[in-house]
Structure formats: C-alpha cells, structure tokens
A and B are shown apart, each in its own frame.
Chain A
Amino acid sequence: MFSYYLQLGLRSLRRNPILTALMVLGIALGIAASMTTLTVMHLMGSDPIPWKSSNLHYVQMDNWDPNSPYNPDGSPPDQVTYRDAVALMEAGKADKQVAMFKLALPVQPVNPELKPFRALARVTYADFFAMFEPPFAYGGGWNHDQDAQHARVVVLGNGINEKLFGGQNSVGKTVRLDGNDYTIVGVLGDWKLRSRYYDLTVGAFADPDDMFMPFTTAIDLKQRSSGNNSCWTSSADGWDAYLQSDCVWIQMWVQLDSPARLAEYQSFLDAYVNEQKKSGRFQRPLNNRLPDVNTWMADQKVVSGDVKVQTGLGFAFLAVCLVNTIGLLLAKFTRKAGEIGLRRALGASRRDIFGQFLIESGVVGLSGGMIGLLLTGFGLIAVRALYTNYKTVAQLDWVMVATTVLLAVAAAVLAGLYPTWRACQVAPAAQLKTQ
C-alpha cells in the first residue's frame, strides 16, 4: 500500500510542478535558515568536555573596589590576582588545579630561513594537561617537580611544531623564546577545540594557543601577560609591586571530583578570603564562586546575543514557510475533492485517504529537507565567510544532519496534517453528484 500511495503522491506532485516546487522550496528555505542558525548556536554553546565538565570549576573571588562592584550585576571579577593564584596553588586543596595566563612572545627559530615570529603561549601548571586533556602526538606534559623547579620546558602545539620541525618528533630538542632556551617535553596532536573554553577572558573563538610553558618559569623571567589586566587601585612601580597588587590578570581552574569535594573547596576558599579580610584585603562582601565549565560559558556569554536572535528569527522564518506550505497543500488537496470522492465511493476508507495524502506531504517534506540540507551547507559556508572566528562552530555534524532531515519531514507532515484531515472529510456522494 505504501509504495502505491508513494506512486500516487509522486504523480500528483508532478502534475502541478510549479506548486510542488513552491512547497519544496518553501520548506527548504525555512529548514536552511533555521538549521544554519541552530547549528552555529548549538556548536558555540555545546559542552566542550562533556565527560568531566561538571568537575572543572573556574575560581572567582571578589577582591574588587569596596565602593563599586567589578560588574554592574555584582558578579566577582573574571580573573584573580597573582598573590591569590599562587596562594591557592600552594595550598593545593583541589584534586587538580591550575593558574594560567596568556603570553605573546617571540620565537627565534634555529633555522636561518625562518624569520623570528610572535607566538601565543599558555603559561600554566602541570595539571593543565590532565585537566583539559589535550591529545599528545609525542611526549607529554611536564610534572609538578618541574613546576617547583621553574624548569625551562615547553609543550608545543602541532601547528608550531609543523612550522619549526616539519611535524617531526621534536621532544628533547630546544626552542629559543625571547632569548631563552626551552626544552621541548611534548608535542600536541590535533586538538579540536571548538572554543578556547579554558580562557574566555580574551574571546572564546580567538586564535588558539601555540604552546604551553610553566607558570613559575614565566614569572621568573618577568613575562607580562598579553591578556586582560584590570586594576581598581594603583600599585607602586616595578614587577614585584605588580605581583603584590590587587590587579586581576590570572585565570584559575580547579578539578573537584565529587560534590563533596566541591563543598569542601568552597569552604576552604571562603576561609581563605576571610583570612585575607583580616589583613585588609577583600573588603567587599564574601562572593566566591566556582562555576563549572558550562555555567562559566553561559556567564561569559559564549553564545552571543546576535546568534540567539538569528536563531529565533530563523525559526520564525521556518514558521512562515510552514504556514505557506499548509496553505498550498490545502489548496491542492481541496482541488482533488472529486478524486477523493471517487476513491471513497469505490471503497477506500478515510484511513486510506489519510495515509495517501500524508505520504504525499511526507514526500514534499523529505525533498524539502534534502534541498534544505544542501542550502544549510551553503548557509554555513556563508557564516564562515561572514564571521571569520566561527570556523570551528559553523560545521555540520551527523547529529545536525539527522535533525535537519527529521525536522523537515516532521514539519511537512505537520503542515500536511490539517489539509489531509480536510481531504478526509470529503463526502463521496456530494462530490460525485456535482461531476
């Protein structure tokens, strides 16, 4: 029966090619608009590390100006001071913990054909690799001892390893950065990060980090952060005064493997701040926060308002297309009242008619979905061209392809439901009489 109805449906669609094309195009455009925008929104906000995102917590403490909050909404600063970061690292109360900052520094290649260039380093601690789990092609991260010894070691990203060493295993070799030699201990593989979620203070979709080096080493060498630095009070001149100041410029993450550990850490942090209050710092009310990865991404508005608005309008557009399709299907099925009357008179039940016309709508939906999928592909290419930062999020994955086709068919069947029901209401006698 299904194949017979399919045949009937196809024949009927071929009979009014323009009307059919209109319906298919309508669904295709609606699907393309909604799916392009939804894909971008979905990938932007998607959990970057689903297996442990609820165990990774960003550390926020409110050391800001007692007279005015850091953010108008009263949330604490998005970074911490050097002295607090180091105090928390030394306390080591979390299961794993890292402080980090962004550093742009000159790379002086040994190869005379390569000119010196600036690269982005993530200055951090040994736990970074265990916490954020980048894949290693060669070697591995450095260890806690090397953190303590302020070792001159570095982990290269695969891009810069390609540039400096032609993608070969460079572990054990050295690289000269800003006049100092560092030993390469590891090389990352292809780390597919949709957003650089571990540092949202300098743009989630900005350039990826080229390499990683110990925090202690960079502080030794007085390397200033290239990220954001915010101060609410002036400090004395000089590096040591800067380190002791209340300027925030360091990001801090902790891994806490159970809710109990989270509660423990929260009370440790509160105790730490209360202790600091005694020495005159942290004059604002206690406002320590430990958002997990997804909460932090939402706080920092990784999914921009524009993207949400575009998605909303995309779906509103789909709604218009569906209303359009309902109207056209209704027109079409109404014109077939005579045919329906004849079939009903010859013994077809309402259920049969319902099935037949629903299949016809389904065919429209499926073809609309297929074309819509193709258009979604073009739409994403356009998004990548318009937003150069969104390369990693304007991509179709299998989930989204399946969603698209499903949405298209569901939309068309839904649109076909009312016209089909109307078609079933045709009374055979009345139709036959007028013929």
Chain B
Amino acid sequence: MEIRPIISALMRSKVAMILIGLQVALTLAIVCNSLFIISQRFERMQRPSGMNETDTFYFGSSGFGRGYDARATQKADLQLLRQLPGVAAVTPAWSVPLSGGGWDSGISLQPRQKTATADSAIYIVDDAAVNTFGTHLIAGRDFKPEEVVDTAFGGSLHPAVVIVTKALADKLFPAGDAVGKQIYMDQDPPTSTIIGVVDRLQHMRAESSSIEYSTLVPAYMPYDNFTRYLVRTEPGRRDEVMKSVEQKLAESNRNRIVSKMRTLEQTRRDAYADDRAMMIILGTVIVALLTITALGIVGMASFWVAQRTKQIGTRRALGATRFDILRYFLTENFVITTLGLLVGGALTYVLSLWLLTHTDGAKLLPWYYVPIGFACLWLLGQIAVLGPATRASRVPPAVATRSV
C-alpha cells in the first residue's frame, strides 16, 4: 500500500537508486561465487586420506659414498624401528598419500591395452603396510612376508601380488569380485594378482583426478641409496617417538642423511595450503564487501533522511506515526535491494561462467546459492537502513512548520 509513493519518490532520484542497486548486484555476484568456491575447497579438504593421520609420520634416509649398502641398511633400519618403544608399525614406503611426489602407473586389464583402464598411485611397501597406513582390509588378505621380494629399481614393475583400494577395485571390476583377478601393471605380462582390497588410501597428489586409486606393491626396492619409512605409533606417542627415532638413526650409520621427519598432519596442511589460502582470501573479500555495501547503504540512507527532513516532518504533522516513517525507509530499501538483486542474479551467473574458463574443474554455481544470497542481502540492507530510518522516525512534526 505504501509502495506507490516510494516508487515515485525513487524515480526522482534514479541515479542514487541505480548506484545502490548496482552495488547490491555486484555484491551478490561476488559473494555467491566466492561462497561456492569456498565450499568446494572445504569439501576437497575434508576428503579422508584413509590413513591414521594423527599417529603417523615419515622420513627419508639417503646414504652416500662408495660401499653404502642401501638394501642392508633398509633391513637393519626396519628391524631397529620395529623394536623402538611406542612404535606400532613400520613400513618402507616409496611415497605417502598427499605428500606430492611418487610413482603412478596405468593399470590395464588386457596385455598391450591401448589406454590404461585406470591410473593408480603405486606405493612400494612391505607386509606391514596395511597396518602402518592404518587403512582397513575389506576383502581378501594381507601380504605375507615371503611375498615381499628384493627388487632392483628399473623401468618396469611386475609384482606377483598387489592390494588395491576399493575405488580402484570397483573401477577395474565393477562386479565387485576383484580379489583373485589378474591385472597388468605395465602393458606387458606377467600379470599381478589382486589378493586384497582396502577401504581407502588416497593418491600422493591431492590434485590428482584419480585420487582414490592406489595400489600397494610388496617389494624391498630402494631408489638408489634412498629409502622412505612410514611409522605409525601407539596413540598419542607420535612426537615422543619422532625424537627417539631421530636419535637412534643418527647413532646407527654415519654414512647417511636422515631427512626431516614429517607428520601426516603437516603433510595434509601443506597439500591443501593453497586451498586454505584461497578460502581465507575469499572469506576476507566477502566480509569486506558486505561491510562496504552496508556502509554505503547507511551513507545513502542518512543522506536521504537529511534531505527529506522537511517532508518527514510534514508527514508526521499530517498524522503519520513514527512506525509509518520507519516502515517507509525500510520498504524503500527493500525495493531498491530487490531491484539490485534481480540484476545481481544475472550477474552472478555471468561471473560464474567467467570463473569456469579460469579454473580447472570448476562447476557452474548451483541455483540455491542465489536465493540464499538474496536472503542475506535483504537482511543486510534492512539492518543497514535501520539506523538512519530510526533517526528519521524521530524527526519531530514541528520541523515541517519551522523552516518554511
């Protein structure tokens, strides 16, 4: 019922209305898309690695000089580590989920298959791997000690038996009967037999498109003189064990360098550092943007109140209540915001399309972000205008008569 006078008043200051509307529109577009990016990053960061991350750490050992026997050192180290108090399980591991670098390979179902069926992370480990990673065997069996064979590092890898993750097993054998099946690690025979399936173990590259595809390969196979060890400790004893391991290894062999020990928690932080940074930056942009828009609305509303003091006084003198005045400004803001939001809805999808061209794997904004954004900005506008509107409602009727 009050809309018509409000609209006709607004038509007399079109520019100001357009400016506020435009600001609201841009804000909606940026906030919706930023929130969507933040939620996507958040989801990415929440994906479980399949490991016991709290109690696990790893480190590398690189020997040097002539006469360094990497294989013998590896076996001695494993024996030493397994005896340390607080250590629950140890395995040599070429790589670790989320740590960045490592070996991946195509897995095929036929010899000399043109394109591999799946790309998988390859973790070269021993028979303690499932236990050390903290993943769970859901089908088949674990490696036996005699299945871990001494292997020379070369161009190809042909293990007799492997354990794969459930996601990879389902990809290779959708019928769910992967255990006992043969796969080709490279394109050529001999084949490898899947003897077990674990529920989950992520790829070493967080950004990999086949992040859930991993294969455990049993082998003692140092990379030249380098071996990486993965250690899981008894719950809560990680930091203590890390110190004692460092000390023990320093004593054991002078001809090698033990690299800095890294926990899985650090590894996860580093793997997702860019996502976290993006979330923080976009979060800051959202807060700053909403603040600026709110302050802009306060500024414009204050100006309008000041400009219309006389008219407000007149309306009050003619019988309008304080609440009527308050409602007038709230409704006015609602109308402007709504017009801005309608334009903003379109702008939001323009921005979303632009983002699609600039980010790999970006998705179009889901529709429900727009109504949520509408609600937020309506609320923001009403709160921002409340101050000036309250001030307007306090204009005494006498003002109308005084200055004429």
Contact = CB atoms under 8 A, between A and B. Distances in A.
Contact of A68 (B16, B115, B281): B115
A241 B154 CA distance: 9
B295 A26 contact: yes
B240 interface: no
Contact of B257 (A118, A224, A422): A118
Contacts of B22: 323
Contact of B278 (A29, A105, A117, A310): A310
Contacts of B175: none
Q: Is the interface of B mostly helix, strand, loop or mixed?
A: helix
B365 to A, nearest CB: 13
B243 interface: no
Given A237-B156, A238-B154, A317 B62 contact: no
Given A236-B154, A324-B292, A335 B306 contact: yes
A320 B286 CA distance: 12
Say whether chain A's binding surface is mostly helix, strand, loop, or mixed: helix
Contacts of B134: none
Given A306-B359, A323-B22, A386 B114 contact: no
Contact of A106 (B23, B62, B304): B62
Interface string B254-297: 00110100000000000001101110111001001100110110
Interface in B39-74: 62-66, 68
A116 B154 contact: no
Among B20, B115, B277, B360, max chain A CB count under 10 A is at B277
B403 to A, nearest CB: 10
B30 A320 contact: yes
Contacts of A29: 288, 292
B115 A235 contact: no
A335 B303 contact: yes
Contacts of B19: 323-324, 326-327, 330
A305 B26 contact: no
Contacts of A30: 292
B20 A316 contact: no
A26 B289 CA distance: 10
Contact of B296 (A116, A238, A319, A324): A324
Contacts of B63: 106
B155 A328 contact: no
A237 B278 CA distance: 44
Given A67-B114, A242-B154, A330-B19, A33 B65 contact: no
Contacts of A345: none
Contacts, number: 162
B154 A331 contact: no
Query: Which of B63, B288, B296 lies at the interface centre, i.e. has the most chain A CB atoms within 10 A of its CB?
Result: B296
B215 interface: no
Contacts of A235: 154-156
A123 to B, nearest CB: 14
Given A236-B154, A316-B30, A328 B296 contact: yes
A68 B156 contact: no
Interface string A122-151: 000000000000000000000000000000
A356 interface: no
A309 interface: yes
A166 B381 CA distance: 63
Given A224-B223, A316-B26, A324-B23, A33 B296 contact: no
A25 B295 CA distance: 10
Contacts of B65: 108, 178-179
Interface in B288-333: 288-289, 292-293, 295-296, 299-300, 303-304, 306-307
Given A22-B295, A67-B114, A106-B63, 20 more contacts: A19-B299, A25-B295, A67-B115, A106-B64, A108-B65, A234-B186, A235-B156, A242-B154, A306-B277, A312-B354, A313-B282, A317-B288, A319-B26, A327-B19, A327-B20, A327-B23, A327-B299, A328-B303, A335-B307, A383-B281
16 contacts: A179-B68, A308-B358, A310-B282, A312-B358, A313-B33, A313-B34, A313-B282, A316-B351, A323-B19, A324-B299, A326-B19, A328-B303, A332-B303, A335-B307, A386-B276, A386-B281
